């Protein structure tokens, strides 16, 4: 369990931020959420790139692109809520994908 938390803490943080975003919160939270998800998805994509799992690199690359705070996508609040849940589920699924670290 200790190794699991050590290797996946950034995904857990992203999931928590995504699910908390379903509440009615100030705009600043959503700006910070985008940075957190961008960093977590980018790092996860990098880990999958190292382990040569191209589909997952693409999935997390799209998530990073979607949540990037610089070149924004403008969706309604309801759409963002649906996306937040879908992305949280994708992060959860990624816990069960084996061999994320590069095997030498």
Domain residue ranges in the chain: 2-94
Least confident interval from 15-29, 37-51, 85-99: 85-99
**Which residues, at least 6 apart from 45, have a Cβ–Cβ distance to it below 8 Å?**
56, 57, 59, 60, 61, 64
Cβ neighbours, 10 Å, residue 36: 17
pLDDT reading at 4 higher than 80: no
> Would you say 37 and 87 are in contact if contact means Cβ atoms under 8 Å apart?
yes
The mean pLDDT of 32-49, rounded to a whole number, is 93
Distance CA 68, CA 91 (A): 17
The mean pLDDT of 9-25, rounded to a whole number, is 92
Distance CA 38, CA 32 (A): 10
**Which residues, at least 6 apart from 52, have a Cβ–Cβ distance to it below 8 Å?**
none
């Amino acid at each position: 369990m200790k190794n699991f938390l050590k290797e996946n803490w950034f995904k857990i943080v992203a999931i928590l931020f995504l699910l908390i975003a379903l509440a009615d919160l100030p705009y600043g939270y959503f700006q910070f959420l985008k940075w957190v998800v961008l960093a977590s998805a980018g790092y996860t994509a990098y880990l999958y790139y190292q382990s040569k799992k191209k589909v997952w690199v693409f999935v997390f690359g799209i998530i990073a692109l979607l949540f990037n705070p610089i070149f924004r996508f403008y969706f309604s609040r309801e759409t963002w809520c649906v996306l937040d849940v879908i992305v949280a589920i994708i992060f959860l699924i990624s816990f069960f994908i084996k061999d994320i670290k590069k095997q030498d």
